[in-house]
Amino acid sequence: MRDKKLKLVLFLLLFWGGECFAQTVEEVAEKAPPQILTSDLTRKQVLKKPEKVVSFIIVDDDMITEVIINGESLDFEADTTLSFTRKFIFKPGKTIISVIAIDERGNKREKSFLIGFGKTGEQAIAAEKKEKKSQPNFKVQFGLAYERDGNPTNDVSSPVKIGDLDLQGVVPDSEQPDNRKTLNLLGSWIYGDFNLFLGASKTVYDKSKNEFLNSKIAFLGLGYALTFSNSFSLPVSLMVMDINVGGSDFSQNIALSTGLLFRSKDEDGFYSHLLDLDGTVKLFADKTKKQGSQNQIKWDYNSLDIERLDNFRYLLAIGLGNNGTEISENSYVAMDFDWTNQWESGFKWDLGFGLAKIEYKNEVPLTKKVLGNVRVDVPIRISNGFGWAFSSDWKVVYDYRYLFNLSNKTPYVRIIHGLKLNGGF
């Protein structure tokens, strides 16, 4: 019965991620409306001058046959990529700029931009933002993944040489790979500056010998942002997490995070800098372990290009941690660089790179000729994902991650790849 259930899950994933993905390129693309892009306007903004020249770029897989700006149909020769420039003159108060694009298959997309000019316009925009912010918003998101894990136990990739030592892995390379299934659920409720979130995650490996790696995670959190202006706020969040690994290893984590969030924007895009201080307390069911902790300071930078609709994220974290034992005490520096496109629908491509240095001051390495007199791990991540976004919430992606740990104690290579389906309501 268990094998039948696994085959059913695999069939559904292959159906969505394989057959449907192949059909998506031809069939779903036919139903995708044109993309309307501009780096000169945001959905809601206040202008200091009464005149503004705006450039629009409209792209589609099919020929774009009609474009309407504020009720006026434009004259042009049909094409898959169009560029228009318009000069707008605004009166005091608020003005709506409406852009409609239609392709040869009848697919239609409309975008509206609310512009405020003068004191009355600024007041009108502020009132609309306040009204929208005061409305509660509830959302449910889920993720389903079927992946091939090339080295679940982080076994030494054999043969490998560290200094003068030749290491042999415990598990033969041919027997290391295993399939795993992951289900993620997240519910969030936002009201003004408050947000409440809860979720769960479950990962199951196919091979019985890897059952000790199966995990269940449940979490509940509350956040609040003390907003001083559109460019500065103080976010605070508290989260409680229950972790079960292998059915017998239980722990509870209590995490508190507080920081400074700076936001800015210009004609090219939006930018944010988050300086954050995180503290986590770890409580273990294993009585041989003491209370653990993880404390870090991080800088999280995000840049969203309005015209190309791609987002770049850089994360730098420095911290200390332990898992309730003296030998697990560590200090680390970690960096992540991730690029993702934010198109509302269509082809999706993500690219990422990560690097960290973790030093365990109480653990003796296999050799002191590499990386020093204590255990040092230098994990490296290279990730790539491509797929199709049906909407801003629904997408299917093939994800590939290459993980390599340069270490004087536990070197390994681990490749994880597979299909992921994400959705939301």
pLDDT of 22-43, one tens digit each? 444 455 556 678 888 887 787 7
pLDDT at 359 over 80: yes
pLDDT at 68 over 80: yes
Q: In the predicted model, what is the mean pLDDT of residues 85-101?
A: 90
Residue 30: per-residue pLDDT: 60
- Looking at the structure, give the CATH architecture of the domain made up of residues 32-133: Sandwich (2.60)
State how far the Cα of 125 lies from the Cα of 45, in Å rounded to an integer: 7
Q: In the predicted model, what is the mean pLDDT of residues 363-376?
A: 88
CATH 2.40.160.40 applies to domain 137-424: yes
pLDDT at 3 over 70: no
pLDDT band of 9, cuts 50, 70, 90: very low
**Please, are residues 399 and 386 in contact by the beta-carbon 8 Å criterion?**
no
Bond prior to 159 in cis (omega within 30° of 0): yes
Reference 266, options 216, 219, 308, 304; nearest CA is 304
Q: In the predicted model, what is the mean pLDDT of residues 161-169?
A: 61
Residue 44: per-residue pLDDT: 77
Strands 93-103, 72-73: pairing is unpaired
pLDDT over 90 for what percent of the chain?
55
Residue 161: per-residue pLDDT: 64
Residue 25: per-residue pLDDT: 43
Residue 33: per-residue pLDDT: 85
pLDDT per residue as tens digits for the range 302-338:
998 866 678 899 999 999 999 999 999 999 999 999 9
pLDDT band of 169, cuts 50, 70, 90: low
- Average pLDDT score over the chain: 86
**Please, are residues 420 and 401 in contact by the beta-carbon 8 Å criterion?**
no
Backbone angles phi, psi at 411, to 5 degrees: -75, 145
The region of weakest confidence among 14-18, 61-65, 291-295 is 14-18
Residue 47: per-residue pLDDT: 81
pLDDT at 373 over 50: yes
Q: In the predicted model, what is the mean pLDDT of residues 377-403?
A: 93
CA-CA-CA-CA dihedral for 111, 116, 120, 123, to nearest 10: 80
Q: In the predicted model, what is the mean pLDDT of residues 232-238?
A: 96
The DSSP call for residue 159 is S
Ranges in the chain annotated CATH 2.40.160.40:
137-424
The DSSP call for residue 366 is S
Ranges in the chain annotated CATH 2.60.40.10:
32-133
**Please, are residues 333 and 351 in contact by the beta-carbon 8 Å criterion?**
no
> Is pTM, for the whole model, over 0.75?
no
pLDDT at 94 over 70: yes
Residue 170: per-residue pLDDT: 63
Residue 23: per-residue pLDDT: 47
Report which of residues 221 and 370 the model is more confident about: 221
In the block, residue with structure tokens 């974290």: 317
Q: In the predicted model, what is the mean pLDDT of residues 121-135?
A: 61
Residue 14: per-residue pLDDT: 42
Q: In the predicted model, what is the mean pLDDT of residues 100-110?
A: 91
Residue 397: per-residue pLDDT: 95
Residue 121: per-residue pLDDT: 59
Tokens linked to 149: 């894990």
pLDDT at 223 over 60: yes
State how far the Cα of 122 lies from the Cα of 336, in Å rounded to an integer: 38
